[in-house]
Structure formats: structure tokens, C-alpha cells
Amino acid sequence: MPAFLIDNLKILNEVIEMHWVWIQNTFAKKQIQPRNKSQKPPMRIRTLLNQCHYLKSFVYENEKLQQHDGSMSVIVDIRPRKNSQPVCSGCHQRGGVYDHLRERLFEFIPIWGMTVFFCYTMRRVNCQACGVKVEAVPWCDGKNQLTKAYQLFLARWARKLSWKEVAESFQTSWDKVYRSVQYVVEFGLKNRGLDGINAIGVDEIQYAKGHQYLTVVYQLDQGRKRLLFVGKERTVKTFLGFFHQLTPDQIDSIQYVCSDMWKPYLKVIKKKLPHALHILDRFHIVAKLNKAVDEVRREEVKQLESEGYEPILKKSKYCFLKNEANLTVHQEERLSELLKYDLKSVRAYLLKESFQAYWQYQSPYWAERYLKLWCNRAMRSRLEPMKKFVKTVRRHQPLMNNWFKAKKAYSSGTVEGLNRKINLVTRKAYGYRSYDVLKIALFHTMGSLPEPEMTHKFC
């Protein structure tokens, strides 16, 4: 071999050794190890999004940290898959791309205290049926700035906390929480089922200062108690609005209905549910009886004062109105002392206590017979408030007797319990300023409405 070739090979070997030493030193300083082909790539935010919020026909691309409205946010770019056609927002059919609009940001569920946005350039569809329309995307509806997943996330938390607390906890506004709840409620009302309703209860509740009432209708079936209807005012027209939502078959399936003695409700039930067993509200009957007993006591207090007798009935209201099992020790002693006197209030109290035996009967026949005897006894008591109560009982005696025909399975006690829950919902928010907002809040909490399906449960 010629001498010049040998010299060139030596020089080439020296250069290769120098490069190899440099490569080793570089890896040692940066602590970089060459990745094995079997080793998985590092997990990214887009990897998590594909697992919990997969979007068909779209791809999560770049994610970056960026300032938005004065705070650090995570921006995730979305692009359509290659050769995919956009979906028309009108008829939901695929069509060709007409043009592109500006980029839009869609707010997603926050992570680590930072807001998350999807960034996407909307396309317009050249639809043969609808003309040129903006495409429909799976993560959002219309011009809404919140994604469906974020709206469902806020709505679920709004069922546990007040809307203001939810807004403060997730660094958003009250309006966004309200719109999220509204979206979930509208979806639920549109997709709920009203078949197979066997028992309902109707009542009115006061929701604002003055005589402003809501008519509420509940389903009272065993294992299925929910709010079915909310209407403004307590009129015939309002209650008829509930039956306008039902089909004739759904109305025929109602076998039991519970209500109080409010005449508009009685009129509508008689017209729309003649086949159903109408059960009168036990709670309101007992409330009217207690009102009559207290009226007797107040009249007697005024009479004794005018005649100059000692005020022996002073501070005795709840001694006569409470059930015996609920009396305090002091009230028991006070009642025992009062029962020694021959007073009108004592007679009214004894009538009230004897009326409780009516609810203990099992047979409708014997319950009706006992009620007639009790009414005759009360009419001979010469107590005008009690006689007025007897007239009310006699007018509604068939409806009261239906409670025994239904085997005591349904009563308005459940209705009153649900009304109490309405009061808690209102009190949690310190009241609602408008009827529409209150209606949405009640359906959201008590309607047992179906929710939009998501690939992942975020809360």
C-alpha cells in the first residue's frame, strides 16, 4: 500500500476517535441516554384528552401555556382529520368545505387551577339542503363558548353547592354556571320519560313576598319520587298546563292523586282524572283542626279577660296544639293543670285528640263510621270554630276516606317533604330573583333528569 494512503487512514481514525469522545462527553454532561425503541414516549396533555374526551374526526395537536384574560391558560389546538368532511349544523349531514372562519376558543374543564381552552378554526359547509352553514362540532353547540363537558361539570357541582360558590371555586362567572345548568335542564326535559306514572301529588308553595305561589306536581311512585311540573300561580289554567304535557295514555296510567282542598285543584282533578283515586291531604286536614282549636283558645282568653278572671290560659298555645309525644316536661305539667278546669279550650283539645283515632283504622267502612260519630259529637260541642271544621270535613269526607282505600300507601306527607326540599334549594341560594331561574334550579335538583352522555366522568 502506498505511503500516502497509510497516512490518510491514520488521520481518519484520529478524527473518528475525537468525534466519539465528544459524543460521549456530551451525553455525560446532559445525562441523556439514547431512547430504546421499546420505551413509550412521554405522556402529554393531548394523550390524556384522547383518553377522557375523544373527538371523532378531529385531532388534538399542539398544547401551550399562554396568557389569557390576565391569567395563565392551557391552549390546545384542534384540527380536523385529513379528508374529513364537516357536518352541517342545520341538517347534520356532511358536505363540502365552503370557507374557513376565524379561530375560536372553547373553554374546557380547568386543571391545576388553570383554565383550559380548545382552539379551532371553524369551517363553513356548502350544504345542498341548507345552503352555506357553519359546521357542527362534537364538543360544543352553536355559538356557546363553553364545551359540553365543562357545562356538565359545572352543573353537577351546582347540584351540591350554590351557584355562586361553584363560580368562585372554578374561577368562572355566575352567568356561565347558570347557562350550564340551563343547558343540562333543557336536555333533561327534552329526553325524560313520562310513561308509567302511577301516583302524583299536587301542592302550592310560596316563592316570593306577597301572595305569589307556584303549583308543583310530583311523582309519588315507590322508588321514583321526582318533580314533574312547575307552574306560576295556583289557578285552574296553571294546573291544566301539566296535563297538556302528557299523552292520553300517560294520563290514563295515573291511578292515585294526592292534593289539598284548594278548589282549582279539585276541579281539574275531577275533570282530567275521573278514574283515579283522589286522596285528600291529611296534613292540611290536621292543620285546619289545629287552627280551629287555637281559635277557640284565643276567643276564650279574650272572654276571661273581659270577665275579670285570672289569665290561666296564658302561654298555653302549644300545650293544646302539640302531639302528646312532643310535649316538653314543662308543657306536660302545664297541660295537666289546665285539664282540671272546665274550659272550652279543654273540650276542643279533647275533640282534637279523639280525632286522631280516625287515622288508626284499617277498614274504610269503620273509619267512615267513626268519622260520622265524631262529627256529630263535635257539632254538639257548641264551639263555632269546631262546627266550621266539621262542615269542611263533611264536604270532603269521600276524598278523606280514599286514604284507607289506597291502603295508606300514598299521602301528601311525601309532598310536604318535597316542598321542604324546595325551601332548602331556595334558601341555599338566598332566593332567586326571577321565576324562570327558580324553575330551572328546581328541575335541576329535584327532577331526576337524564344528563348528556360523556366518555368520562369528571366529577
Instruction: Look at 98 and 429; give whichever has higher pLDDT.
Output: 98
Q: Which amino acid is at 97?
A: V
Q: Please tell me the predicted confidence (pLDDT) of residue 370.
A: 95
Q: What average pLDDT does range 42-66 have in this prediction?
A: 86
CATH number of this structure's domain 192-281+411-428:
3.30.420.10
Q: What average pLDDT does range 332-354 have in this prediction?
A: 91
Q: Please state, rounded to an integer, the average pLDDT across all residues of the chain.
A: 87
Q: What are phi and psi of 45, to 5 degrees?
A: -60, -40
**Residue 5 pLDDT grade (very low, low, confident, very high; cuts 50, 70, 90):** very low
Q: Which contacts (CB < 8 Å, 24+ apart) does range 92-99 have? A: 92/136, 93/127, 93/129, 94/125, 95/125, 95/126, 95/127, 95/128, 96/125, 96/126, 97/123, 97/124, 97/125, 97/126, 98/123, 98/124, 98/125, 98/126, 98/132, 99/123, 99/124
CA neighbor of 92 nearest in space, from 123, 54, 134: 134
253-275: per-residue pLDDT in tens?
999 999 888 899 999 999 999 99
Domain segments of the chain as ranges: 45-142, 192-281+411-428, 287-405
229-258: per-residue pLDDT in tens?
999 999 999 999 999 999 999 999 999 999
How far is residue 121's CA from residue 143's CA, in Å, rounded to a whole number? 13
67-81: per-residue pLDDT in tens?
888 888 999 999 999
| H-helix segments, 308-434 | 317-321, 329-338, 344-355, 364-379, 384-395, 397-405, 413-428
Residue 138: pLDDT over 50: yes
